[in-house]
């Protein structure tokens, strides 16, 4: 199978000389059977050969020992390349994803990520923390994923300063970490980071890893109620964004349907990603949105423009698959589109047409939907129910912004003002 992708015999020989060559060949066969592009195979195999050599240098002698070396390998790869922090984060996630996919395929004992989260930070010292978040705190997998993201940053910082024993954590170390992290993060990101670290510290105290509760050493950024303005855009920008989608291509038909769902119904990225073929009631012209953040199911009338966009995607854009999720990745193996990919598509088109907005993404279109309903005179209660707000306070922020009136004032000469 390797000969189908690598022309030079010496290249094939180098791959087969790896102590994990059997795993790599099985992975290549798996990718070929699912229609992965040749360029994807050519990119991933050298990455895995490097991972095998790295793990071997660190003393790995058996395949079951490979997961313990994933994060160290990712950090080593990133340190050898320059780039911005957000670029490093995306590259690290891509490297980690390839290795995790290999491990899930060839190590059945590690296939269930609920029992072993490959690459989970501090896995050696606190292996039970993901289960604690899931079973004791009742968090969703998406929320647990965010904990892992934030704690990897904390773990990387401790590695840099040579603090490898969680039992030696101190107030000074934690304070310095927060100050250092704040230099490259916004307020919302800092709130997520600090909250995750505080929960982790309480868990460490509960398990007896640290002698006293250090959670109070990590202070959350000050947040004032209704201090922020909604991240909405006007409808002219929405039209420009939709017009920028190339609906001649399958991916364009998919993205067009996604953007309409976000802006017409104000859905969250996660809610769009979880839509299935069974959620479309064509007979009654209804759209079912299940498992919302507030824990309920919403039923919407299926807008003709949204329905037409979905039909176009289903007929001439959706890859053939038995998967019941509505939106799939265009590349093999055509997995269900994940929530962050939904948000990325919204961000892509907002950037494409030059719309300037803070943190562009799926929530920009959700905010736009809400602001449009506010400007149309709907009550905050009705709007909150429509977009699935858990609390009325989530909708109140829109009441203080008269967008169109303020725009007229800003563009006028001021002579009409009293």
Distances (CA, A) of 281 to 220, 284, 288, 300, 315: 45, 6, 8, 10, 17
Write phi, then psi, for 139 (nearest 5 degrees).
-80, 150
Choosing from 152, 363, 367, 372, which is the catalytic residue?
363
Q: Is 381 a catalytic residue?
A: no
* Active-site pick, 69, 254, 345, 366: 366
Q: Minimal CA–CA distance to 124: which of 59, 68, 61, 83?
A: 68
Distances (CA, A) of 72 to 51, 77, 120, 156, 359: 10, 9, 11, 10, 30
Locate 121 and state its tokens. Answer: 């930070």
Return d(Cα 330, Cα 165) in angstroms, integer.
44
The answer to whether 247 is a known catalytic residue is no
Whether 398 is a known active-site residue: answer: yes
d(CA 147, CA 130): 9
Active site residue 363: yes
User: Of 137, 164, 293, 359, which is the active-site residue?
Assistant: 293
**Active-site option among 150, 318, 334, 389:** 389
Determine whether 137 is an active site residue: no
DSSP structure string for 349-378: HHHHTT---SS-SHHHHHHHHHHHHHHTT-
Burial 160-178 (b: 16+ CB within 10 A, else e): eeeeeebeebeeebbeebb
Alpha carbon distance 175, 161 (integer Å):
13
Q: Which of 69, 150, 268, 270 is catalytic?
A: 268
Residue 28: which of 54, 10, 55, 47 has the closest Cα?
A: 47
Which of the residues are catalytic? 268, 293, 363, 366, 389, 398
């Amino acid at each position: 199978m390797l000969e189908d992708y690598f022309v030079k015999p010496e290249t094939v020989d180098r791959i087969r000389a790896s102590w994990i060559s059997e795993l790599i060949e099985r992975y290549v066969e798996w990718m070929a059977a699912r229609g992965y592009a040749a360029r994807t195979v050519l990119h991933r195999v050298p990455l895995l050969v490097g991972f095998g050599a790295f793990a071997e240098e660190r003393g790995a002698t058996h395949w079951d020992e490979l997961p313990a070396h994933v994060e160290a390998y990712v950090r080593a790869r990133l340190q050898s390349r320059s780039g911005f922090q957000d670029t490093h984060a995306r590259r690290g996630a891509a490297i980690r994803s390839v290795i995790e996919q290999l491990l899930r395929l060839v190590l059945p004992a590690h296939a269930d990520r609920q029992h072993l989260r490959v690459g989970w930070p501090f896995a050696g010292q606190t292996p039970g923390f993901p289960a604690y978040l899931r079973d004791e705190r009742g968090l969703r997998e998406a929320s647990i994923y965010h904990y892992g993201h934030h704690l990897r940053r904390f773990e990387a910082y401790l590695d840099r300063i040579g603090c490898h024993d969680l039992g030696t954590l101190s107030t000074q170390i934690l304070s310095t970490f927060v100050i250092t992290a704040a230099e490259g993060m916004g307020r919302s990101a800092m709130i997520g980071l600090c909250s995750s670290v505080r929960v982790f510290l309480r868990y460490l105290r509960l398990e007896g890893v640290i002698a006293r509760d250090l959670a109070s050493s990590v202070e959350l950024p000050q947040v004032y109620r209704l201090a922020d303005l909604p991240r909405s855009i006007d409808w002219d920008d929405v039209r420009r964004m939709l017009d920028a989608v190339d609906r001649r291509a399958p991916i364009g038909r998919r993205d067009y349907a996604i953007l309409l769902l976000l802006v017409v119904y104000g859905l969250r990225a996660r809610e769009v990603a979880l839509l299935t073929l069974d959620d479309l009631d064509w007979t009654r012209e209804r759209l079912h949105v299940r498992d919302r953040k507030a824990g309920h199911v919403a039923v919407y009338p299926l807008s003709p423009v949204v329905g037409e966009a979905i039909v176009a995607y289903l007929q001439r854009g959706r890859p053939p698959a038995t998967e019941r999720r509505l939106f799939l990745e265009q590349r093999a193996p055509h997995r269900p589109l994940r929530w962050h990919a939904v948000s990325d598509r919204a961000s892509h088109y907002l950037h494409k047409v030059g719309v300037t907005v803070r943190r562009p993404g799926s929530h920009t279109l959700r905010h736009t939907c809400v602001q449009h309903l506010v400007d149309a005179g709907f009550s905050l209660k009705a709007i909150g129910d429509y977009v699935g707000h858990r609390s009325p306070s989530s909708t109140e922020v829109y009441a203080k912004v008269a967008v169109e009136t303020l725009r007229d004032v800003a563009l006028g000469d001021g002579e009409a003002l009293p």
